[in-house]
Amino acid sequence: MHQRQRIMVALAIAVLSGVMSVEAGAQTINRQDQVQFGLRNMGGPRLGVTYVFGDGPLYQYLMENNMDRVISQFGWHFEHQVVPEGGGPQFVIQVVPLFGGVEYGKIAPVIALAMGVRFPKGIEFGLGPELIIAEHGLKSALVMGIGKTFDYSGVSIPVNLVFTRNNDGGRLSILFGYAIQKRGVSD
């Protein structure tokens, strides 16, 4: 891993640790009360851009296919939350299929599964695997994301910074979209 990538990973871990300690300190749960949970479906469109670091195999593949380091991303976000009805952090499972590279006349499909936590003020983080559908089969990567969801009258607007890493190289993406809250929906 290059020095710049190590610094970015260390910075992401430091930010996540700080967010977790601030949010965790703000939460108190009365142990005598049993916590009740509700389900919430927060699916919706996502779009953004990805930047490819370094000169590794992924960068070489992009250059060989007349693509650049910056790639568009379009897709859909499937999310389920377990939400404590009395307040507190939400436990989140997200599946995000994306298609990248359309501006180059290419389709580069990926699908990520992230498991994480969203705190009451909308700050969120997650971690999970990503499958990349490549010309010569499937590849995998590790996805780490941090973001904030802004809620406006039943519409959530998430903004996420996502770092993805495997042996082919590192990528940094910014993704955003919207979701209309549908409480009590089970799919």
pLDDT in tens, the chain (187 residues): 566 656 656 656 665 566 555 555 545 545 555 656 555 667 899 999 999 998 888 888 889 889 999 999 999 999 888 878 778 898 999 999 999 999 999 888 999 999 999 998 989 999 999 999 877 788 999 999 999 989 888 788 999 999 999 988 899 999 999 988 665 544 4
Q: What's the maximum distance between 2 C-alpha atoms anywhere in the chain?
A: 62
The pLDDT value recorded for residue 72 is: 96
| Contact present, 175 and 48 (Cβ < 8 Å) | yes
Q: Does domain 3-24+41-183 have CATH number 2.40.160?
A: yes
Encode 163-186: b = buried (16+ Cβ within 10 Å), e = exposed.
bbbbebbbbbbebebebeeeeeee
The pLDDT value recorded for residue 187 is: 43
Structural domain spans, the chain: 3-24+41-183
Residue 4: helix, strand or coil by DSSP? helix
The pLDDT value recorded for residue 140 is: 94
Q: Is 31 left (phi over 0), alpha (psi -120 to 50) or beta?
A: alpha
The pLDDT value recorded for residue 186 is: 45
Residue 64: helix, strand or coil by DSSP? helix
For the beta carbon of residue 76, count every other beta carbon within 10 angstroms: 14
Q: Name the token pair of 146.
A: 């941090």
> What is the Cα–Cα distance from 79 to 168, expressed in whole angstroms?
28
> What is the Cα–Cα distance from 131 to 140, expressed in whole angstroms?
5
